[in-house]
Structure 1
Amino acid sequence: MAFILLYQLLGNEIMAVIENSSAAENDEWEYYYDYLDPVIVDESKLKYNKYLIVIIFWIILAAFVGFLFLSLTLMCRSGNLPRSHRS
């Protein structure tokens, strides 16, 4: 008897959840596809990012030269060392 009563209580709660979720599905949505105008940027007011591409280029170039120097140095040091001949 207690099991049937518990099943009926849970069944009523589940039905309430199903009814609430079906009520939420009936909401109407309106979609607007308006065009947004881009923000106008004045170049004279830019202070820090005006020459950013040039700065990045020089940093990458310096890093490449440093990597090249390091790799060539390690390649030269890893070669066979000359051995002295014992007589």
Structure 2
Amino acid sequence: MSVDEKTVRRIAHLARIAVTDAEVPHLQGELNAILSFVEQLNEVDVEGVEPMTSVTPMIMKKREDGVTDGGYAEKIVQNAPATEDNFFLVPKVIE
């Protein structure tokens, strides 16, 4: 796959990058080099290879995902000027 000048300008427009006419050939070469490298990666046989989270083998730390109320509502509202049943009381601002 090859990128032409029109595609370079389109990518620059979508990325909201100002590109001058002098920069287009350089960017075209850069994008073509990137795509060439990606094509090389597609040739690698990855059949049976497990996805990795790191370059070194490790086990992801996991915890039980549970919803709690925190258990300390009193501490949260203790410095509030006005509270009721562990909720903040605020003055009404809209009539």
TM (norm. structure 1) is 0.30
Provide TM-score, normalisation by structure 2.
0.28
Higher helix share: 1
Does 1 or 2 have the higher relative contact order (CA < 8 Å, sep 6+)? 2
